[in-house]
Structure 1
Amino acid sequence: MKPRTDWAPPRWLRVVLPSVLILVWLAAAGLGGPTFGKLSSVSSNDQASFLPASAESTDVQDWQKKFTDSAAVPAIVVIESEDALDHAQLDGLSTLGQKLGDVTGVQRPAGDARTSVAGPIPSKDGKAVEFIVPVADTNKVKTVVADLRQVLDDSAPSGLHAWVTGPAGLTADLVNAFGGIDGILLLVAGGAVFLILLLVYRSVVLPFLVLFTSIFALCAAILLVYLFALWGWIALSGQSQGILSILVIGAATDYSLLLVARFRESLGHVESRWAAIGRAWRAALEPIAASGATVILALLCLLFSDLNSNKSLGPIAAIGIVFSVLSALTLLPMLLVVFGRTAFWPFRPRFEGEHPPARKHVDETGIAGLAGIRGLWRRVGTLIARRPRATWIVALMLLGVCTLGLTQLKANGVQQTDVILTQSDAVDGQKVVAKHFDAGSGSPVVIVTKQADADAVLAAVEQNDGISTAALYTGGGDPTAPGPAPQPVVKDGRVLIDATLASEADSARAEQVVRDLRRTLPAADPSVLVGGVTAIALDTNDTAQSDLLKIIPIVLAVILIILMLLLRSILAPVLLIGSVVISYAAALGVSAVVFDHVFGFPGADAAVPLFGFVFLVALGVDYNIFLMTRVREESLRIGTRPGILRGLGMTGSVITSAGVVLAATFAALAVIPILFLVQIAFIVAFGVLLDTVVVRSLLVPAVSYDIGKAIWWPSRLWSSNLHDKEGGPRV
C-alpha cells in the first residue's frame, strides 16, 4: 500500500504537466539565448557612471557639462623614437594628426580648425611626441581606438613606435578583456560542471539534465536583465555580467543536486517515479527555497551601497538566483520524472523498500545515527561522535591560523594599468608617456572655483609639488598664439582649472595629490571642488570601503532572521552565522597571502572584500541550510545527536559535490584577464571549498553534537522527549 503522502496524479496530468513546463522553459531559453550577444550593447564599464551623486567628483562632472557640450574621452597617441626627432620628422607627423582626426568617432573640429586633435606635442628630450585625440562616440570607444591603431599601423613613419593609450585606450583594452564573457567563460564553467557531475554520479544522462536546468535558468535571467538594462532600470557592467553567468550556473547546479539526491533516495523506497519525485520535491522545497531566499536577500542588501556598481549588482544577481530556484523546482523535477531511473544510467537506483524503524539506526559500534552510512562519512561521523570537542577546536584553530593573513590584505584600489592582466597596448603606451612627458598629461585634475577666487586657487594649485602645470580653462584657445590672451570661460560665476599631474593619473601618488588639494584649496575658496579621472578613482575606492562597513551588518542581520525562521531556533542560527563569518575571514586571509606571495598582485580593488563577503556568506549559509534542515528532520525522528550524525551522513556527498561544482564555476571567472574577477574567482572558490570541507563537515556538526539538543533552544525540539542518550559517547 502506498503511503498517503505519495502523490499519484491522473494519467492526463502526467502527460500535460511535464510537457507544459518543459515547453515554457524551452521558450524562455529560445528568447533569452540570443540576448547573450546583445548584453554588451547595454553594458557600461565607465567608472564615473557608478559613482554616487553625493561624490565630489560627480559634482565636478556636472559642472564640466556646463562649460562644454562635449562628453569626449581623450585618447593619447604617443610616438617614440630611439633618437631625437628632427624638424622634417615633426613636420611629417603633423599630417598624421589630421588622419587621426578624420577617424569616425573622433570629435569634429569647431569653427575653421582643421582638426580637433592636439599635437604633435614634442617631449622635452625630443624623443617622443603625443597627440590628444578626443573620442566623441563614447558608446563605441573600442571601435574608435581600433581604427586609431590601424591609422598608426598604416601611416606612422618607419622606425618609430606608436601606441594609443589614455582613458580611451585603457577603456578599449578593458572592453576587449571582457570580450570572453559571452563565450569562453560559459564554455569553461559548463565544461567544469559537466565533468564533475560525470565523475560524481557516473551517469551519462544526469549531467545533461542538470546542465540544461542551469543553462535554461541563465537564459531566462539574461533575457530579463537585458530588458531591464535596455529600459534603464539597472546599470549593467562587464563585472556584473560575468558574475551573473557564474552565479546562476553554480547556484542552479547546487539546488539541482539537492533535489537529485532526494529523488535518488526516494527511488530506493518507492517504485513509482511520480511518488519519488513527489517525496523529493517536498523534502527539497524548504531548503532550496530558504537557501534561495537567503542569497537573494543578501544580494539585495547591496541596494544599500552608495557605489552604483555595487548597487546594480544586487538586483542583477538576485534575478539570476530567482530563476535558479525556479528551474530547480519546476524544470528539473519534470525532466527527472520523464527519465525516471534512466536518469542515473548505467547505475540505476534499486527499489529496496521503506526506511527501517528509528530504533535500528544504531550501527554495530553502538553509535546511534550511523546505521546504513558507509565510507568517508561514516568515518567522519564516528570521529565527531567520539571526539566532538576536540574536532571542533582543531577545526576552529585551523580557521584561526588562516585569518592571520588578513594583515597582508591590500584592498585599497590599484592603478588602472594593473587591472588588465594580459598584454595591453594602452598599458605599454602609458609607460612611454610617463617616460617622456608629465605622466598625468591627458588626464588632468579638474578644479571648479569661483571666478573671484580663481587667482588664489590657481596659485595654491601650482604650489603643490605633485602638479606639473595648471591653467584656467579657456575653451580651447591657444595662450601662446599672437594677439590678446584668450579669456577663461565663466559659467554661473565659476571657472575651471586644469592641472596636469606629475605622476600617473591612476597612481597612489596622484590620489594623494587630490587629497592634498581637497584639504588645502578650501582656504582660498571654501566652495572649491576637485575632480577628474584621479578623483573619480579615489572617490570610488573610498565609497567602496565605506560600503563594506555598512553592508556587512545588514547582510548578517538578514541571514540571521531567515535562519531563525527556518530552524525555529536562536542558538543554532547564531552558531551558523559565526561559522560562516570566520570561514570568510579565513578565506580572505589565505587569499591575501596568495595574492601577495604567489601571484604577485599589486593589491586588490576596494570592492573585492565586499563582493567576497556577500557571495561567501550567502553561499556558505546555503550549505549549512542543506545540512541543518536535514539534521532537524532526522532529529525529530531519532533524537538530536543521532540526527546530527545521520543528517551529516545523508547530505555529505551531495553538499561536497555542490561545493566542488560551485568552486569550479567561480574559478572559471579566472579565464577573464581582469584583476578584480581573478581575485573574486580565487576568494570564492577557495572559500567555498574551505566552508564545505572544514566548516560544514567538521566544525558545525561537531559543535552541534557537543552542545546536544540545546542547539535547538528555544524551540519545541529542544524541550522534546527525544533524549541524547541515544547519541553514543560524548566528550
Structure 2
Amino acid sequence: MRAVVPALLIVVWIGIAGVGGPYFGRVAEVSSNDQTSYLPASADATQVQQLLPAFAGSNRIPAIVLFVRDGGLTGDDLAAIAAAAGDFPAIDGVGSDVSPPVPSEDGEAAEVFVPLDPGDTLTDTVEELRASVADAAPAGVTAYVTGPGGFTADLVDAFSGIDGILLLVALVAVFVILIVVYRSPLLPLIVLASAMFALCASILTVWWLAKAGAVQLNGQVQGILFILVIGAATDYALLYVSRYREALRDHEHHWDATVAALRGARAPILASAGTVIAGLLCLLFSDLNSNKALGPVASIGIVFALLASLTFLPAVMMLAGRVAFWPVRPRFGSAHPVLTGANATGLWPRLGRAVARRPRTIWVTCTLVLLAASAGLLQLKADGVPQSDLILSSSEARAGQDALGRHFPGGSGSPALVVGPASDLADMAATALGTDGVSSASVLSEGSPSGTLPVTADGVQPIRPGAPAGEPTVVDGRVMLQVTLADAADSAAAEHTVGELRAAYGDSSVLLGGVTATAVDSNAASIHDRTLIIPLVLVVILLILMLLLRAVVAPVLLVLSVVVSFAASLGVSALVFDHLFHFAGADPAVPLYGFVFLVALGIDYNIFLMTRVREESLQHGTRTGVLRGLAVTGSVITSAGVVLAATFAALGVIPILFLAQIAFIVAFGVLLDALLVRSLLVPALCYDLGRAVWWPSRLAHR
C-alpha cells in the first residue's frame, strides 16, 4: 500500500490535468467582459440594460466609425464614406440598420453608427470592420472604430495574453526562483507540476460552473485565478518540502518521513488555505457582481492548491525521496542545524540574536517605518478612472474617442438612456435638455429609419419640416430617451451630468442607464463593498487565528501587523502610481482587492511562523520558541514571499490598468510583509511580550 497509494494519487492527478488542460483555451466561451454584467441586478444601469432589447429590438452594442480630414471633408469624401457604410452590413456580426454618415458642424469629420452583435465574435467583427474601414477611407482621411463596441474589442484584445503570456511569465519566474532556493534541478519541476495540476483542476471546475451559470467569469477574475493558484500552491509546497527535508534526517524510510512531514505541515497548510478561502468568500457579500464572482472562483482555486499540496506533492516526493534534493541530499541521521545560541550560524539565527538583544527597539522602529509609509494613502485616488484609461497599451478606440470629442459632442454614440412613463415624455425631455452638460435628446422609435426621433420639451418632433412627428416605441407604458451628453461618456464631467440628471428626476419611476451611468453605479457599488468587506474579512481572519493559536493576544497583534503592513503598501503604491507611472487614478475596487489578497495571503506567513513558534514554545518556552521558530521558518517564509511576489508581478504583463495596479500593490506588499513584518516586527513583538502573547491559554502561564 505504501507504493500503491502514492502511485494511485499521481495517476488520478495526471488524469485530471489531462482532462482540464484543454479547457485553458476555452475560457472565452464562458466569460464576459461587459461592464454592465458586473453590476448588481438592483442597479438602475442594469435594469435599463435589461430593458434595452425590448425598446431597440436587439441588445446590439453600438460602434462609431469616425472619418476625419483636417481642413474639411470634400464631397467625394462623403460619397466614399456613404458607399463604405453601405457595405458594413455585409460583415458578419454587423446589423442591417447602419446609419448614414453624419457630418460634423465644422465639416472636418463624419460619423457612422454601426450596431454589432454581442458575444464571442465581437472582437472578430470589430477587427474585420477596421480592416474594411481602412481600405475604404479616401486618401488623406483618417478613420477610427470607436464607441462602446470599439472599447469592448480593445479590452478583450488586451486580455488575450492571459492564457499564454501571463502563465508563461509566472511559471518562468517561479522556476528561476525555485532553482536559486533549492539548488536542485528536479525539485522545482515537482513543485511547478503540483501547481499546474491544481490550476488544471480549477479551470475545469470553474469552466463547467460558469457554463451552468453558477459563477460569472471575466478576464479579470481569470487572470487573478491563474496567479493565485500558482502562488498559493507554491507557498504550500515550500512549507511541505521544508518539513519533508527535516523528516528525512530523522527517518530512514521515505514513508515514515512523509507521514512525519504531513503531520507537521498539515495544520499550518490547512489553516492557511482555510483563512484565504474564508477571506475570499467574504466577497459574496459584495454588491458588485465582479467582486462576488471572484470569491467562489478564487476559493475553488485555493481548494485545489490545497489538495494538490497534500496529496500529489507528498506522493511524488515520497517516490523520489532524497533524489528530489539532488545534488544536496539530506542524509539519514545527519544533525539538524543549530537554531539558537552562540554556536548557531546562518542569517536567521543571527537575526534571532539581534531580536533577542533589542526586541522593543526593533518592533517600535519597524512600526514607525510602516506608519510613515502609510502617509502616502493621502494621495490615493481610488474613485474611478475613465474607460479610455483602462487599457495601458495602444487603443484605436481611445484615439478615436479623442478625435470624436474634437468634432462632435463628447457623448456622441454613447448616450445616457432614460426610461420613464410614456405620459411624461415631454417632461422627461424638458428636464434632460434643461440640465447642464446635455447636448440633445431623442426617443427610440421602431418606425423611424434611424431608430430614433428628435424630442424637445414640446414632445416628439418631425425629422423633416412638414413631415409627421412619428410615434415613440412604448413598452409596458414606458419610453426610452437617448440623451447625448456634451462630454465624453467616460469623463468625470459626464458622470457629474448623470448625477445631476438623477437628482433632477428624483422619481423612482424614471431609470437612468447607459455607459456613463454604468460607471457611476459601478463606482458606488465598489465603495459600498470596500466599506463592508474590509471589516468583515478582518473579523473572520481574527476568529480563525484565535481558534488556531488558542489565544487572543497573539491573533490581535498579528491582524494589526497585517493592517499596518497593508496601509504601508497602499501608501507607497499611491506615490508610485502618481509620480512614477502617472496613472490617471484607480478603480474603487483596487484597495479592496489589494486588502483581501495582502491580508489573506499575509496571514499565511503569520500562520507558518506562529504555528511553529507555538510548537517550539511548548518544548522550550516562549522566548526561545520565538527564536527557534524564526530560524526554522525564516528561509521558507522569505522564499514563499519572493515566489508569491513574482507571480503577482506577472499580472503586469497584461496591459490593463486594474491588473497592473493589483500586481504592484500585492507584489510590494508581500515582499514588505515577508522581509520586514514577519522577519522582524512580529518576532520582536512576541519576544518582548514573552508568554503573555499566548493569553489566555495555559501556555501563557507556563
SS of alignment partner, residue 448 of structure 1:
strand
Aligned counterpart, 2:463? 480
CA displacement 1:453-506 (0-9 Å, x = unmatched): 221221121112211111232231564246211122222222222110111101
CA displacement 1:213-264 (0-9 Å, x = unmatched): 1011101111001111111110000000000000000000000000000111
The whole-number CA distance in structure 2 between the counterparts of 1:361 and 1:613 is 34
Aligned counterpart, 1:717? 699
SS of alignment partner, residue 119 of structure 1:
coil
CA contact (8 A) 2:623 2:687 kept: yes
> 2:463 is aligned with what amino acid?
T
Once the two structures are superposed, the pairs formed by residues 532-547 of structure 1 within 5 Å of their partners are: 532-547=514-529
The whole-number CA distance in structure 2 between the counterparts of 1:290 and 1:72 is 48
Aligned counterpart, 1:729? none
CA contact (8 A) 1:106 1:137 kept: no
Aligned counterpart, 2:363? 392
Aligned counterpart, 1:32? 20
1:413 aligns with 2:384: yes
1:363 aligns with 2:334: no
CA displacement 1:169-213 (0-9 Å, x = unmatched): 000010000000000001000000000000111111111010101
Q: CA deviation at 1:449?
A: 2.0
Unaligned runs of 5+ in 1: 1-12, 109-115, 365-370, 721-731
> 1:696 is aligned with what amino acid?
R
Aligned counterpart, 1:504? 488
With normalisation by structure 2, the TM-score equals 0.96
CA RMSD of aligned residues (A): 1.4
1:75 aligns with 2:63: yes
1:278 aligns with 2:259: yes
Q: CA deviation at 1:349?
A: 1.4
The whole-number CA distance in structure 1 between the counterparts of 2:94 and 2:204 is 33
> 1:646 is aligned with what amino acid?
R
> 2:19 is aligned with what amino acid?
L
The whole-number CA distance in structure 2 between the counterparts of 1:40 and 1:449 is 36
SS of alignment partner, residue 491 of structure 1:
coil
The whole-number CA distance in structure 2 between the counterparts of 1:471 and 1:197 is 62
Once the two structures are superposed, the pairs formed by residues 579-658 of structure 1 within 5 Å of their partners are: 579-658=561-640
Counterpart pick for 1:189 among 158, 167, 170: 170
> 1:161 is aligned with what amino acid?
T
Q: CA deviation at 1:92?
A: 2.1
1:89 aligns with 2:77: yes
Aligned counterpart, 1:442? 413
The whole-number CA distance in structure 1 between the counterparts of 2:581 and 2:349 is 39
Q: 1:93 to 1:637 in 2, by over 3 A?
A: same
Q: What is the aligned-residue identity percentage?
A: 56
The whole-number CA distance in structure 2 between the counterparts of 1:600 and 1:132 is 34
> 2:370 is aligned with what amino acid?
L
Counterpart pick for 2:215 among 234, 239, 244: 234
SS of alignment partner, residue 495 of structure 1:
strand
The whole-number CA distance in structure 1 between the counterparts of 2:671 and 2:594 is 14
CA contact (8 A) 2:246 2:336 kept: no
Aligned counterpart, 1:727? none
> 1:288 is aligned with what amino acid?
I
Counterpart pick for 2:89 among 94, 101, 104: 101
CA contact (8 A) 1:270 1:353 kept: no
The whole-number CA distance in structure 2 between the counterparts of 1:362 and 1:220 is 43
SS of alignment partner, residue 118 of structure 1:
coil
> 1:566 is aligned with what amino acid?
L
The whole-number CA distance in structure 2 between the counterparts of 1:520 and 1:310 is 31
CA displacement 1:107-156 (0-9 Å, x = unmatched): 23xxxxxxx11121111111111100000243321011011011112222
Q: CA deviation at 1:361?
A: 7.2
1:257 aligns with 2:241: no
Aligned counterpart, 2:477? 493
CA contact (8 A) 1:269 1:355 kept: no
CA displacement 1:9-50 (0-9 Å, x = unmatched): xxxx12211110000000010011100000011110001011
> 1:480 is aligned with what amino acid?
I
The whole-number CA distance in structure 1 between the counterparts of 2:505 and 2:643 is 54
Aligned counterpart, 1:64? 52
Aligned counterpart, 2:227? 246
1:559 aligns with 2:541: yes
The whole-number CA distance in structure 1 between the counterparts of 2:92 and 2:285 is 41
Aligned counterpart, 1:317? 298
CA displacement 1:348-380 (0-9 Å, x = unmatched): 112335779xxx97623xxxxxx64x2211221
Counterpart pick for 2:7 among 12, 19, 29: 19
With normalisation by structure 1, the TM-score equals 0.93
The whole-number CA distance in structure 2 between the counterparts of 1:443 and 1:609 is 29
The whole-number CA distance in structure 2 between the counterparts of 1:477 and 1:571 is 66
The whole-number CA distance in structure 2 between the counterparts of 1:362 and 1:142 is 61
Aligned counterpart, 1:723? none
CA contact (8 A) 2:231 2:643 kept: yes
Unaligned runs of 5+ in 2: 454-461
> 1:18 is aligned with what amino acid?
P
SS of alignment partner, residue 581 of structure 2:
coil
The whole-number CA distance in structure 2 between the counterparts of 1:361 and 1:85 is 80
SS of alignment partner, residue 676 of structure 1:
helix
The whole-number CA distance in structure 2 between the counterparts of 1:222 and 1:447 is 40
1:575 aligns with 2:546: no
> 1:235 is aligned with what amino acid?
Q
SS of alignment partner, residue 140 of structure 2:
coil
Aligned counterpart, 2:459? none
The whole-number CA distance in structure 1 between the counterparts of 2:698 and 2:163 is 50
SS of alignment partner, residue 159 of structure 1:
coil
Aligned counterpart, 2:503? 519
Q: 1:68 to 1:362 in 2, by over 3 A?
A: closer
Aligned counterpart, 1:51? 39
